Structure 1
Amino acid sequence: MEFTTVRTGVADTYSYQTTRNHSSDDCSLESPLMTIVSPILYSILFILSLSLNGLASWVFLRIPSKSNFIIYLKNIVVADIIMTLTFPFKILSDSNVASVGTRVFVCRVSSVLFYLTMYISIVFIGLISIDRCRKTMWPSAVTSQRRLLHRKLLSCFIWASLVALCLPNIILTSRTDTSGRFNCTGLKTQMGLVWHEVVILICQVIFWGNLIVVIICYVLISKELYKSYNRTRSQHAVSQGQQKKSSIQANIFLVLAVFIVCFVPYHFARVPYTNSQTRGQMFSCQEKLLLFLWKESTLWFSSLNAVLDPLIYFFLCKSFRKSLFNTLSISPGCCRDVRTDTGNIQRETSEKQNDLL
């Protein structure tokens, strides 16, 4: 897993590895899209993400880990901050101003951390969906200290497992590229290429498995809230209730929408692009270029997740909003619509939604 940036002795280009023994072909094209547009877009992401996640981390330091939801959100904040810190190296590499040493660091370390944190976020979003579904279906369930300890241990296990999965990508990217073109794939050993493909397939399973979980959970949440709304709706509040129901549905599907927009396009592009790296003889030069641009474009949307996650914290986490208002000395009354955006149709519906928030 890496950002593949290439440099020649005459001009900065993009090149692709054609065989497993690292032989190269003449496929190299300059790409203004990647050398100009990409650094600008990632620079914008870096500024926004650093600001928003810096604020989010400051707020979460003030919130005790008293629920599964908070524990999962704190793990996502850590993952987003680490991902954000990889953006400057991506910017330098894509703009072709990075030294060879920096480019090697991007291939061996920075890009691995980027993908590691991406899948950390994906897994914890899946766990958040399960937790929100459980709270909706069984709102009276009590979160004990023992259960919280188990969730903390689960979080450590997830981090350790994904680090172990990605670590060989650092260790096995140890060759010296003497081809005259700088290529991340060219730095991988023979075993590194094999492991690269294995990791991509495992990550695909992680993503699509979590996507199925997220969809199922939010369908169940939506149905339960809708049933609760129908049970408690009174005739004189029909018009008001219809307006509230729209807000309910919008918030329910916020996580699902972010998940799909940020991660689905990239995972459609990932497998064919990887094949163009490791089985280059099967692809023409033009196909390799198109796959590379497709992968890089969708990768930016995956990076966008680091900016959108703080919005999820704000809209879906009541403790986060309360702590944020206190930190900024803002009266919650000015954001009353946001605080009650999941409705006060009747007591039963409100209680279920408060469990979600």
Structure 2
Amino acid sequence: MTHALKTVTMAALFALAGSALAAGEPVIGLITKTETNPFFVKMKEGAAEAAKAKGAKLLTGAGKADGDNAGQVTAMENMIAAGAKTILITPSDSKAIVPAIKKARDKGVLVIALDSPTDPVDGTDALFATDNYKAGVLIGQYAKATMAGKPAKIATLDLLPGHPVGAQRHNGFLQGYGLQSLDAKSNELAKPAEVVCMADSFGDQAKGQTAMENCLQKNPDINVVYTINEPAAAGAYNALKKAGKDKSVLIVSVDGGCQGIKDTAAGKIAATSQQYPLKMAAMGVDAGVEYAKSGKKPSGYTDTGVTLIAAKAVAGVDSKDTTVGTQLCWGKK
């Protein structure tokens, strides 16, 4: 059993793939960053549902944590050995994963990135993802309008160094707020004077709470918090509540997951940019089945959509309420 495929033994993996190959079913692999983040849990569910509907066999694997490139490489190698002709992947390390993807593509395997691009972006055959820079811009615009001219002292709870999605959301947020920023192609994080604390949360609730606690020690006057995702936002909220500041600090985030929308409705998060992992997963499986049938490959970037969801609307910023957010969370019909 490998650490990247914790839920399935190698013998079971090959048995699943072998039976599918014998039956003429396409074998598709899905490799997510982690097995525990609700976003990726839902993506896995969406891929499983789409594979069942299309008559394909789905193999799944994940890293131990965000940033675990070795775990993702092992999962990819095991899936290809088991007969997968399409790999769907949310890259943990956008650069380090590229050599393994190239080896797969050289063997005729279709590789599609979901949610997160590789660096360079053409390291995969195609990308199905949210416009993460736009997602950041939307919550930045909302935060600025909500603050209504009050000087901002901002904490950013980011993903991890050098990750494209983390950079795009961070820099998009600053751009939307009207602050000095970098464009969507940069993997660096801008730090204007208004940002008084930056910390890596790895998209994790516990790490997000620790990061927020550390930021409050550095600057107790923080009044705006940007978070890479809603688990990090939940951690930030816990830290702020513990410090008695949960009512006076504005938190904005990205994902629009079902729990995140509940937190928005409860006032823990002011607004979040909603994305749709079920759609990403279904599109990836559909492309894999089409490739198995016809050899046709998708190419380039497909925008899977983003919507600003807010508990309270603010003038000049287009948003939907949490009732709509609940109806659409994760991309469910």
TM-score range, shorter chain: under 0.3
TM-score, scaled to structure 2: 0.27
Q: Whose helix proportion is higher, 1 or 2?
A: 1
Q: Whose strand proportion is higher, 1 or 2?
A: 2
Larger radius of gyration: 1
